[in-house]
Amino acid sequence: MHLAVKKFLVSVALLVLAVQVSSPVCVDMPPNTEVVLGKPIKLTCISCMKREEVNAKTQVNWFYVTPDKERILIFKFDGLPQEPDTRWKGRLAWNGTKDLQDLSIRIISTTLNDSGTYLCNVYRQFKFDNYEPVFTLSKEITVQVKKQVSRDITSMYSEMTMYAVLIFLTLWLLVEMIYCYRKVSKADERVQSNVTDYLAIPTKHRSNKAVPGSH
């Protein structure tokens, strides 16, 4: 009896673990705010939900906020993606996930006029047995479209340090090669000098001397 209970508890524990492992993981990441002219950029909007909240009606509206604080609706998702007739039409694409926790969109080809503030408005109506609570979320993203990528100071410093190390190692290797070359040259000169001195000895005296380096 006790063995059967233990097996049942182990099975339940494994089932719970499998459900936890297989459940989707939602991570709210900081959005990209800088893009090179003509390149795509993802406007990130994450709205995580608990597993018991997955059954919900979700709607998201994307706005462009002008310097005068006017909101221009540029994209809408309410079961299906919709693009109003704006200057962004044809250049936007839905980049969200099936579980609607990632509600991002993507600007396919950026222009300089795309710089500015974008607003993501999320509306959720959850469906539980006894009540239907409503959840709203707003996220702002400030995008800068540049003609070329601005260099980060840290990356520039790292790159300069790398080049300095490479130059130092190259010079050190060059000095070592010159030192070794001179050392070998001096050794050759000494051997050549010894051979010359040996050859200069009269023949009758050579038998009493060994050729240098012949031991």
> What pLDDT is recorded for position 202?
63
Q: In this predicted structure, what is the pLDDT of residue 3?
A: 46
Supply the DSSP string of 4-69, one letter for each residue.
Answer: HHHHHHHHHHHHHHHHHHHSPP----PPP-EEETTS-EEE--B----GGG-SEEEEEEEEEE-TT-
Mapping DSSP to helix (H, G, I), strand (E, B) and coil, where does residue 173 land? helix
pLDDT of the residue at 124? 93
Residues of the chain scoring pLDDT < 70: 1-25, 51-54, 149-157, 194-215
- What pLDDT is stored for residue 179 in this prediction? 85
pTM: 0.59
Identify the pLDDT of residue 204: 54
What Rg do the C-alpha atoms of the chain give, in angstroms? 38
The CATH number, out of the four listed (1.10.287.130, 2.60.40.10, 3.40.50.150, 2.40.100.20), of the domain defined by the range 24-146 = 2.60.40.10
